[in-house]
Amino acid sequence: MEKADLYLKLFQEYASEARHHEQQRATVTGFFSALAAGVLTIVGIDKTLSITDIPVALFLVAIGVFGCIFSAKQYERFFVCMERARQYRLALQEAVSGSNILELKRVADKKAKERFPRLHVMRLGLFWVTLHALIAAFGIFLVVLSYVGIG
């Protein structure tokens, strides 16, 4: 097997594994969001907040906290896989003489940055974690309201 073929295969493997981690994160986030909606339905079914709603609201907090941790871990795994893929892409560039793989990437990155200057600096992992943090924060808010009996 040629070096270039090996590097290409390893690049594809780690890029695929990175997509897998993103898919897992999306699936868990979707499930937890639906679960949170169900919890909110249970809390709101009697149209009042009381101390009896605290366990369910605490479950909402737990869903949010676990989601934050899971999402952050998945982002870490995604980053590791993508960094490995980047290293194999660099090796592939060196192994294939006359190729301009990195120049093509630079041009594409530059165009994306010009088109989306503000969004370019934001990390997608932060959005995923923030969604789960909002679920946890809403659970804390419900615990407080349930404790004081507002509603």
**Helix runs in the chain, H state only:** 3-44, 54-95, 101-115, 117-121, 124-148
pLDDT, position 151: 55
Gap between the Cα atoms of 33 and 41, Å rounded: 12
Sign for the CA dihedral angle at 67, 74, 117, 16 comes to negative
Q: What is the pTM of this model?
A: 0.85
> Shortest CA distance to 70 belongs to which of 125, 13, 7?
125
Tokens of 55: 């366990």
Gap between the Cα atoms of 80 and 51, Å rounded: 44
pLDDT, position 69: 98
What string of pLDDT tens digits covers the 151 residues of the chain? 799 999 999 999 999 999 999 999 999 999 999 999 999 999 888 888 889 999 999 999 999 999 999 999 999 999 999 999 999 999 999 999 888 999 999 999 999 999 999 988 888 889 999 999 999 999 999 999 998 876 5
Gap between the Cα atoms of 2 and 51, Å rounded: 68
pLDDT, position 36: 97
